[in-house]
Structure 1
Amino acid sequence: MFANGQTVVQLMEQLAPKHYAVENDKIGLQLGTLNKEVTKVLVALDVTAEVVDEAIAVGAELIIAHHAIIYRPLAKLDTSTPPGKLYEKLIKHDIAVYISHTNLDVAEGGINDWMADMVGIEAAGRTSLEDVHTDKLYKLVVFVPQSHHEAVLQAIWKAGAGGIGAYDCCSFNIEGTGTFLPGEGAKPYIGKEGKLERVQEIRVETIVPQSVQRKVVQAMMKAHPYEEVAYDLYAMDLKGRSFGLGRAGKLNEPVKLGELVERVKEVFDVPYVRLVGDPNRQVKKAAVLGGSGARYYRHALFAGADVLITGDIDYHTAHDALAAGLSIIDPGHNIEKIMKPRVADWLTRELKERKYGTVAIPSAIGTEPFIFV
Structure 2
Amino acid sequence: MTIKEITSILEELAPLGNAEDFDNVGLLVGDKNMTVSRVLVTLDTLEKVVDEAIENNCNLIVSFHPIIFSGLKKITGSNYVERVVLKAIKNDIAIYSMHTALDNVQQGVNAKICEVLGIRDPKILIPKKNTLQKLTTYVPKAQAQKILEALFKAGAGHIGNYNNCSFSVNGLGSYEAKEGANPTIGKIGETHYEEETMVSVVFPSIVKNNVVSALMEAHPYEEVAYDISIMENTNQHVGMGMIGSLDTAKEEEAFLQFVKDQMNAKVVRHSALRGKKVKKVAVLGGSGAFAINAAKAAGADVYITADVKYHEFYQAENQLVIADIGHYETEQFTKNLLVDYLTKKIPNFAVRLSESKTNPIKYL
- TM-score, length basis structure 2: 0.75
User: C-alpha displacement at 1:342, in angstroms?
Assistant: 0.9
Which residue in the other structure is 2:294 paired with? Answer: 299
Which residue in the other structure is 2:281 paired with? Answer: 286
158-167 vs 236-245, which moves further: 158-167
Residues matched between the structures, number:
324
Amino acid at match of 1:300: A
Q: Give the whole-Å Cα distance in 2 for the aligned partners of 1:294 and 1:165.
A: 27
Q: Give the whole-Å Cα distance in 1 for the aligned partners of 2:308 and 2:251.
A: 21
Q: Give the whole-Å Cα distance in 1 for the aligned partners of 2:27 and 2:64.
A: 12
Select which of 124, 128, 133 maps to 1:127.
124
Change (3 A) 1:13 1:215: farther
246-255 vs 328-337, which moves further: 246-255
Change (3 A) 1:42 1:158: farther
Q: Give the whole-Å Cα distance in 2 for the aligned partners of 1:165 and 1:250.
A: 21
User: C-alpha displacement at 1:167, in angstroms?
Assistant: 4.2
What does the per-residue CA deviation read over 1:151-175, in whole Å, with 9 as the maximum and x for residues that have no partner? x97x9979965445554454689xx
Amino acid at match of 2:293: R
What does the per-residue CA deviation read over 1:13-46, in whole Å, with 9 as the maximum and x for residues that have no partner? 1211112111221222222222200121111111
User: C-alpha displacement at 1:310, in angstroms?
Assistant: 0.6
User: C-alpha displacement at 1:138, in angstroms?
Assistant: 5.0
Change (3 A) 1:343 1:140: farther
Which residue in the other structure is 2:310 paired with? Answer: 315
Which residue in the other structure is 1:11 paired with? Answer: 9
Q: Give the whole-Å Cα distance in 2 for the aligned partners of 1:165 and 1:83.
A: 40
User: C-alpha displacement at 1:332, in angstroms?
Assistant: 0.6
Change (3 A) 1:237 1:106: closer
User: C-alpha displacement at 1:57, in angstroms?
Assistant: 1.3
Which residue in the other structure is 1:366 paired with? Answer: 357
Q: Give the whole-Å Cα distance in 1 for the aligned partners of 2:152 and 2:262.
A: 35
Which residue in the other structure is 1:327 paired with? Answer: 321
Judge conservation of contact 2:40–2:352 (CA < 8 Å) in 1: yes
Q: Give the whole-Å Cα distance in 2 for the aligned partners of 1:343 and 1:119.
A: 18
Percent sequence identity over matched residues? 33
Change (3 A) 1:297 1:51: same
Change (3 A) 1:273 1:159: farther
- Other structure's SS at 1:85 match: helix
User: C-alpha displacement at 1:315, in angstroms?
Assistant: 1.9
What does the per-residue CA deviation read over 1:126-145, in whole Å, with 9 as the maximum and x for residues that have no partner? 2323x33433345599x9xx
Amino acid at match of 1:326: L
Which residue in the other structure is 1:55 paired with? Answer: 53
Change (3 A) 1:9 1:249: same
Q: Give the whole-Å Cα distance in 2 for the aligned partners of 1:30 and 1:164.
A: 32
Change (3 A) 1:171 1:325: closer
Q: Give the whole-Å Cα distance in 1 for the aligned partners of 2:203 and 2:244.
A: 28
- Other structure's SS at 1:250 match: strand
Q: How does 1:329-368 map to 2 (within 5 A)?
A: 329-334=323-328, 335-352=330-347, 357-368=348-359
Select which of 26, 32, 40 maps to 2:24.
26
Q: Give the whole-Å Cα distance in 2 for the aligned partners of 1:123 and 1:213.
A: 30
Q: Give the whole-Å Cα distance in 2 for the aligned partners of 1:29 and 1:339.
A: 18
Q: Give the whole-Å Cα distance in 2 for the aligned partners of 1:77 and 1:293.
A: 32
Amino acid at match of 2:130: T
What stretches of structure 2 of length at least 5 have no aligned partner?
140-144, 169-198
Change (3 A) 1:323 1:140: closer
Q: How does 1:161-200 map to 2 (within 5 A)?
A: 162-164=157-159, 167-170=162-165
Q: Give the whole-Å Cα distance in 1 for the aligned partners of 2:350 and 2:209.
A: 24
Change (3 A) 1:213 1:38: farther
- Other structure's SS at 2:344 match: helix
- Other structure's SS at 2:332 match: helix
CA RMSD of superposed structures (Å): 3.6
Change (3 A) 1:159 1:113: farther
- Other structure's SS at 2:346 match: helix
Judge conservation of contact 1:311–1:330 (CA < 8 Å) in 2: yes
Q: Give the whole-Å Cα distance in 2 for the aligned partners of 1:321 and 1:215.
A: 43
Q: Give the whole-Å Cα distance in 2 for the aligned partners of 1:14 and 1:240.
A: 23
Judge conservation of contact 2:26–2:98 (CA < 8 Å) in 1: yes
What does the per-residue CA deviation read over 1:67-105, in whole Å, with 9 as the maximum and x for residues that have no partner? 121222223222254333222211111111111111110
Which residue in the other structure is 1:261 paired with? Answer: 256
- Other structure's SS at 1:134 match: coil
Select which of 112, 136, 140 maps to 2:132.
136
Amino acid at match of 1:344: V
Judge conservation of contact 1:321–1:327 (CA < 8 Å) in 2: no
1:104 aligns with 2:102: yes
What does the per-residue CA deviation read over 1:273-328, in whole Å, with 9 as the maximum and x for residues that have no partner? 2232328531122211110122322222222222110111222222x135443312
